[in-house]
Amino acid sequence: PGERNPIEGKFGQAKNGYGMNRIRARLKNTSQSWIASIILVLNLVKLAGMALPCLSFSAWKDLKNMLRNAIRQILEIQKIQNQPRELSGLVL
């Protein structure tokens, strides 16, 4: 009984969000083309939503390397700034 719920939900989304209920084509082939186009857009939107986490997951490696380099640079700057204090005996 619950197998049709997702399908009916997609038809509702196509009707409300993408104007499937406003198709006023005169020929059968034209109506079928409009319906196929709307379903194609629904599938593309779903695939784009699935691809976004995959793309961002692959970007984690680059982000990790950028953060690591930035932290190294900050630590080197602090080390350089603290050298005169270490030499004078005033280490905070």
- Which single residue is written with the structure tokens 């599938």? 43
The type of residue at 9 is G
pLDDT digits (tens, 9 = 90+) for 10-41: 888 888 888 878 888 888 888 888 888 888 88
What is the spatial distance between Cα 31 and Cα 24, in angstroms, rounded to a whole number?
8
∠ CA 64-50-18, nearest 5°, is: 140
User: Domain boundaries in the chain?
Assistant: 6-82
The type of residue at 72 is R
Per-residue tokens: 16: 């409300």
What is the spatial distance between Cα 72 and Cα 76, in angstroms, rounded to a whole number?
6
- Of the two residues 1 and 66, the one the predictor is more confident about is 66
Residue 81 has pLDDT above 80, yes or no: no
- Looking at residue 91, what DSSP letter applies? -
- For the whole prediction, is pTM greater than 0.75? no
pLDDT at 56: 65
Whether residue 34 contacts residue 26, with contact meaning beta carbons closer than 8 Å, is answered with no
